[in-house]
Amino acid sequence: MRTTSRIPFTITVISIIIGFMLAIQFNTNNKSTGAESKDMSLLRQDLQKVMEQHQRILADIVKYDQLLFEYKNPANQENSLNLMIEELERVKAFGGLAPIEGKGLLITIAEIEDPLDDAFSSLIMIYDGDLRLVVNELFGAGALAIAINDNRMTPQSSIRDVGEEIQVNTKVVRPPFEIKVIGDPEVLESAMKLKGFEEFFKVFNYSFSMKKLDKINVPAYDGKGSIRYMKPLKEGS
């Protein structure tokens, strides 16, 4: 059981990191100004997210150590294949290669119709960086799966401007942008509000609305992957 001995060490390291961050957080001047108080609130929010990420990492370590033990234990060899198949399906779902369903958030970014400002609004555009900003913040808040106008985001995905249009996974997307997100809806919504995305997009004459859902479907990635830096290992090498 050598593998499980790493777990207490990992817990100790994570506890030290969290303790250090807490010490920094509370070692501040009690006579802070209003602006400093707001900064402290933002720091607490960020700290909470870091602590939640550490808990998820710790849970994954425990899980994979247990899986490794199951694979290596001769008494469980009959179940090893089933365990591998289940894990493969889970990895495919969260890696974007299979559709996934769960609770989450539906975000809609749509142009605000204003007949008085038609000429002006036509000059204002949403750019690739604006969508990337939202996606990065969602992943930072613990999103498990994201799709923009049903284009699944994966580590290979791209969001970029091509001429006057935005492409996601080489496919053109146009407003309204519908972003489907799987994860804790409360945490995701709080992260979006904390970053002020509603006010940010309103400047560009776009609305930013959110709807928490108990069930939302995110499709699989339908693009083609490419292997650039790996090659088969030759026998005997």
What is the percent of the chain where pLDDT is above 90?
39
| Chain segment 8-32, per-residue pLDDT in tens | 555 665 666 666 555 555 554 444 4
- Residue 19 to residues 11, 22, 47, Cα–Cα distance (Å): 12, 5, 11
Identify the residue with better confidence: 68 or 175: 175
Tell me the C-alpha distance between 157 and 182, whole Å. 17
Lowest-pLDDT range of 72-81, 124-133, 215-224: 72-81
CATH superfamily of 99-218: Protein of unknown function DUF881 (3.30.70.1880)
Residue 80: count of CB within 10 angstroms of its CB: 15
- Mean pLDDT over 171-175 rounds to 93
Mean pLDDT, the chain, as a whole number?
A: 77
- Mean pLDDT over 190-197 rounds to 94
Q: Is the pLDDT of residue 232 over 70?
A: no
Provide the token pair at 199. Answer: 């006010």
Identify the residue with better confidence: 28 or 105: 105
- Mean pLDDT over 158-183 rounds to 93
Name the β-bridge partners of 207.
110
Identify the residue with better confidence: 156 or 148: 148
Q: What is the pLDDT of residue 39?
A: 67
Residue 134: count of CB within 10 angstroms of its CB: 23
Domain segments of the chain: what residues? 43-93, 99-218
